[in-house]
A and B are shown apart, each in its own frame.
Chain A
Amino acid sequence: MSLQFLADGILVGAMIGLGAIGVTLTYSILGFANFVHGEFITWGTYAALTLTSGIGLLVGQDMAPLGPFSIGWPVLVAGLIAMVLTGLLALLLDLIVFRRLRRHGNAIIMVMASFGASMALRSLVEFTFTSEPAYFSRELQIAMPIGLGIRLTADQMLMLGLTLVLVVAMQLLISRTQLGRAMRAVSENPALAQVAGVDVAGVVRLTWMIGGALACAAGIMAGITVQIRPFMGFDLLLPLFSAAILGGIGSVPGAVIGGLIVGLGESLAVQLIGANYRAAAAFLLLIAVLLIKPTGLFGRRA
């Protein structure tokens, strides 16, 4: 068996992990399983795609790829703007829907509203962009051997590097800064944090912004290395939830490691039973965690 599946698993896993950070943060700080997260991925990616073509129109035809990569600088600029926009979309949804439901204090109603909102948002993308797959670039990439019989494209290596940077930055933010401390306090006990002078509303806004931006980043990576479809976020939801629960709700390193395990599990399933059953791997891992250690690898007791 070629070791290529390890590389594929890590690549997919890194992307799942990046998305799962947002899931785990909203879950622990806002207290509900947010089904809209998949739509942040989709909307963010389509926003980046639209911005990329917008930049292309503005600057003329100078869209040559950078160095060995398939994408040019417009994708990177568009990606950064799209991350901000997706964060704002998350804030907007919170303003219209979730903030008002939070007052009732029923988490399950919030899960339900997120389910309804995700369905509406996804169908809106399908209406606007049709269900035809889209691509950031039509450039062909040649996979280079990196040893042990594993081949990676330049794009894939760039994605792995960017993921690593984002994950480390997130972990530092949560563990080393005052903001991170405030986030952890709200996740432990919102009322107590409020009394202690933590700006709970601000932490909630920050959580939405970060979750949305990271979802967008994960989506752009999927868009560059695979393709862009209206259902891309929906199809990632189950792996994201599995990764977040596997790693332990609230833990950023847990989400990333959970993502890697789910990604490796998926590529192992592809290797052993076939690509059709990829999604089943995430489900089996989820059931296994819930049976054996429901708090996850790095979770606190609920």
Chain B
Amino acid sequence: MLDLIGYGAFFLVTALSYGLICLGLNVQWGQTGLFNVGVAGFVAIGAYTSALLTTPETAGRFGGFNLPIAVGWLAAMLSAGLAAAFIGAVTLRLRADYLAITTFGIAIVIQLIAVNVQGLTGGPFGIGFIPRPFASLAGDALAFNLANLAVVAIVTAIVFLALDRLTRSPWGRVLRAIREDEAAAASLGKNANFYRLQAFVLGSAIMGLAGAIQGHFIGFIAPENYVSALTFQVWAMLIIGGAGNNRGALLGAVLVWALWSASGPLIGAIFPPEQQARAAALQIVAIGVVMVAILLLRPRGLLGEATTVSRHVDLAAEGGEAES
């Protein structure tokens, strides 16, 4: 029983860290309509930044400043945000899908750096000995997982509440206005590109934070954690949960992660051991099919976007009018 609770806590820590990435993506895609194909890259920037700052000194690698974990997390947000500001400044004024191509590119370049710049990132072997919160409890798996779950849950709750508030604020409404009709928003004096940049940077900073949290929970990061499959998982989570809806982002993360975790042992049971690495590719096929099916059949996801997000408008008067 205690094992089960321990596993549940372990599962939820991972699922919620994905939920955080989803919340970040939801600011970009759900609220603002920005298509970021480099999610894994921004998560990696956060994870590596925090790892470099908080690990003990290591021979042959830059970094190892032994700083407190909280400093690492803040720096993770900052560095991922800065990378986003650079990419955004170059592409957001151009055609919408140039952002997709450029973010796709930066994720590849970050992967290259992670694999090849050994003196900074530890190369293919990654970075180990990342300090874990409540490391003193590590002997007791249950207490360790529960304590970590508490931290991740609190961070997720703070980000969730802050974003929910932002969505309902004038700032959030401007984002939606720009997404729906840029010309109309511009005619009201809103600088569309600047608002888009803000949303892009904020979302990427949250992804960086999530990357740092994941790294500190596992205590080890390596380049292969940040390949395009991660980007893809997060997208599937948001699309399935419901883009534009922060609750949907969290629901999608927990749901898809549960399916992902359950399908691993299932593949193990069906395929002989020598085929399992190969069969793992089927998990991605399944998620890809589900994602495309949702886009075709239920584009709003499980929990769709709320039609009205202003406190000042009477919800009842708006009725159930659906938003496209």
What is the distance, in angstroms, from A128's C-beta to the closest C-beta of chain B? 9
A270-287 Cβ-contact flags toward B at 8 Å (1 or 0): 000000110110110011
Contact B101 A115 (CB under 8 A): no
Chain B residues within an 8 Å CB radius of A245? 98, 101
Known: A97-B296, A116-B291. A108 touches B35 (CB 8 A): yes
Chain A residues within an 8 Å CB radius of B104? 35, 237-238, 241
Chain A residues within an 8 Å CB radius of B229? 119
What is the distance, in angstroms, from A294's C-beta to the closest C-beta of chain B? 5
Inter-chain CA distance A241–B228, complex, in Å, is: 17
Chain A residues within an 8 Å CB radius of B285? 120, 123-124, 127
Inter-chain CA distance A199–B116, complex, in Å, is: 51
Inter-chain CA distance A117–B289, complex, in Å, is: 7
What is the distance, in angstroms, from A33's C-beta to the closest C-beta of chain B? 4
Contact B116 A277 (CB under 8 A): yes
**One of A237, A280, A290 near B112 (C-beta < 8 A):** A280
Known: A100-B296, A107-B97, A245-B101. A115 touches B284 (CB 8 A): no
- Check: A162 CB closer than 8 A to any chain B CB: no
- Check: A5 CB closer than 8 A to any chain B CB: no
Chain B residues within an 8 Å CB radius of A115? 37, 100, 232, 235
Find residues 39-61 in chain A having any chain B CB closer than 8 Å to their own CB.
Answer: none
- Check: A140 CB closer than 8 A to any chain B CB: no
Contact A130 B37 (CB under 8 A): no
Contact A117 B284 (CB under 8 A): no
- Check: B295 CB closer than 8 A to any chain A CB: yes
Known: A97-B292, A117-B292, A283-B109. A33 touches B90 (CB 8 A): no
Contact B105 A286 (CB under 8 A): yes
- Check: A302 CB closer than 8 A to any chain B CB: yes
Chain B interface secondary structure, helix, strand, loop or mixed? helix
Inter-chain CA distance A127–B288, complex, in Å, is: 14
Known: A112-B235, A116-B235, A276-B115. A282 touches B284 (CB 8 A): no
Chain B residues within an 8 Å CB radius of A104? 299, 324
What is the distance, in angstroms, from B54's C-beta to the closest C-beta of chain A? 27
Find residues 266-324 in chain B having any chain A CB closer than 8 Å to their own CB.
Answer: 278-279, 281-285, 287-289, 291-292, 295-296, 299, 324
Contact B284 A286 (CB under 8 A): no
Chain A residues within an 8 Å CB radius of B284? 119-120, 122-123
- Check: A291 CB closer than 8 A to any chain B CB: yes
Inter-chain CA distance A290–B95, complex, in Å, is: 10
Known: A123-B282, A127-B282, A287-B90. A108 touches B97 (CB 8 A): yes
Known: A97-B292, A123-B284. A33 touches B232 (CB 8 A): no
Interface size of B by CB at 8 A reads: 43
In this complex, what residue of A is CB-closest to B233? A119
Chain B residues within an 8 Å CB radius of A242? 105
Find residues 71-97 in chain B having any chain A CB closer than 8 Å to their own CB.
Answer: 90-91, 94-97
Chain A, interface size: which category? Answer: 35 or more
- Check: A208 CB closer than 8 A to any chain B CB: no
**One of A33, A113, A124, A302 near B100 (C-beta < 8 A):** A33
Chain A residues within an 8 Å CB radius of B90? 287, 290-291
Contact A124 B235 (CB under 8 A): no
Contact A279 B292 (CB under 8 A): no
Inter-chain CA distance A101–B299, complex, in Å, is: 10
What is the distance, in angstroms, from A112's C-beta to the closest C-beta of chain B? 6
What is the distance, in angstroms, from A27's C-beta to the closest C-beta of chain B? 8
Inter-chain CA distance A92–B116, complex, in Å, is: 39
- Check: A136 CB closer than 8 A to any chain B CB: no
Chain A residues within an 8 Å CB radius of B236? 116
Contact B289 A33 (CB under 8 A): no
What is the distance, in angstroms, from B240's C-beta to the closest C-beta of chain A? 11
- Check: B120 CB closer than 8 A to any chain A CB: no
Known: A115-B232, A130-B278. A290 touches B91 (CB 8 A): yes
- Check: B108 CB closer than 8 A to any chain A CB: yes
What is the distance, in angstroms, from B266's C-beta to the closest C-beta of chain A? 15
Find residues 49-107 in chain A having any chain B CB closer than 8 Å to their own CB.
Answer: 97, 100-101, 104, 107
A233-246 Cβ-contact flags toward B at 8 Å (1 or 0): 01001100110010
Inter-chain CA distance A99–B113, complex, in Å, is: 38
Find residues 247-302 in chain A having any chain B CB closer than 8 Å to their own CB.
Answer: 276-277, 279-280, 282-283, 286-287, 290-291, 294, 302
Q: Which residues of A are in contact with B by a Cβ distance under 8 Å?
A: 32-33, 35, 97, 100-101, 104, 107-109, 111-113, 115-117, 119-124, 126-127, 130, 234, 237-238, 241-242, 245, 276-277, 279-280, 282-283, 286-287, 290-291, 294, 302
Can you list 19 pairs linking A and B with CB atoms under 8 Å apart?
A101-B295, A101-B296, A112-B239, A112-B295, A116-B291, A119-B229, A120-B284, A120-B292, A123-B283, A126-B278, A127-B278, A238-B108, A242-B105, A276-B112, A277-B112, A287-B90, A287-B105, A290-B98, A290-B102
Additional A-B contacts beyond A122-B284, A245-B101 (17; CB < 8 A): A101-B296, A104-B324, A109-B295, A111-B100, A113-B292, A119-B229, A119-B232, A119-B287, A120-B292, A126-B281, A127-B281, A127-B282, A130-B278, A280-B109, A283-B105, A283-B108, A290-B90
